Amino acid sequence: MVEKKDYNPPTASSPSPKGERAPEKIEIPKKKFEEIVKKIEEMSVLDLAELVKVLEKKFGVSPAVSQVMTAPAPAEATAGKEEEKTVFNVVLTAVGEKKIEVIKAVRDVTQKGLKEAKDLVDAAATGPQVVKENVKKEEAEELKKKFESAGAKVELK
């Protein structure tokens, strides 16, 4: 049988006299999550933000994607013709022979440092890497031309 521990995170529905939120009781299965919750409670806000980014990257999700995935589709959009896509992800699929030029392009586009840009380009050798997400069509086309002129292969998804 699973032992449970009461956990009381703040909620938005019941403010206290100081304007703070009153805690809502949530039962946490003792065996599975108690240690994880304790560790998370002890983390600083900066560490939590970094953890969220790592988990998003590890599992390939982001808050914007999860909201879109769970939102019901409007009846008009599904009933009529398909709309043209206006937002794209720029994905680096192959580096080519001019690796240094591709690294420079990644740095320019993403504003990342040299090491981060090099790591992204190196990772593209093993599999496609997202360089920039949620880019408007015009900007995505410009980025694609920039990478292709540097010798890389890019897809817009």
Specify whether 145 is located in the same domain as 113. Answer: yes
What was the pLDDT predicted at 85?
81
Residues 53 and 104 in one domain: no
CATH value at residue 92 = 3.30.1390.10
In a domain, 78, yes or no: no
Scan for tokens 């817009």, then name that residue: 156
Q: By residue range, what is the domain housing residue 118?
A: 86-156
Q: Give the Cβ contact number of residue 82 at 10 Å.
A: 7
Q: Which residue has the higher pLDDT, 157 or 4?
A: 157
Q: What is the pLDDT of residues 113-132, one digit of tens each?
A: 999 999 998 998 888 999 98
Mean pLDDT across the chain:
76
- The pTM of the full predicted model, rounded to 2 decimals, is 0.46
Indicate whether 147 belongs to any domain. Answer: yes
Residue 20's contacts (CB-CB under 8 Å, 6 or more residues apart) are 10
**pLDDT, position 126:** 87
Residue 140 DSSP SS3: helix
Would residue 42 count as lying in a domain? Answer: yes
Residue scoring higher pLDDT (119 or 52): 119
The C-alpha atoms of residue 62 and residue 134 are separated, in whole angstroms, by: 12
Q: Indicate the pLDDT class of residue 14, thresholds 50, 70 and 90.
A: very low
Query: Does a structural domain hold residue 79?
Result: no
Residue 81 lies in a domain: no
Mean pLDDT comparison of 44-53, 75-84, 87-96, highest-scoring range: 87-96
Q: How confident is the model at residue 101 (pLDDT cuts 50, 70, 90)?
A: very high
What backbone phi and psi angles, to 5 degrees, belong to 140?
A: -60, -40
Report how far residue 33's alpha carbon sits from residue 83's, in angstroms, rounded to the nearest whole number: 43
* Residue 93 clears pLDDT 60, i.e. is over it: yes
Element (H, E) at 109: helix 99-110
Count of domains in the chain? 2
**Residue 152 sits in the same domain as residue 107:** yes
Token duo for residue 98: 């001019």
Summarised one tens digit per residue, pLDDT across range 61-81 is: 766 654 445 555 555 554 445
- Are 93 and 56 members of one domain? no
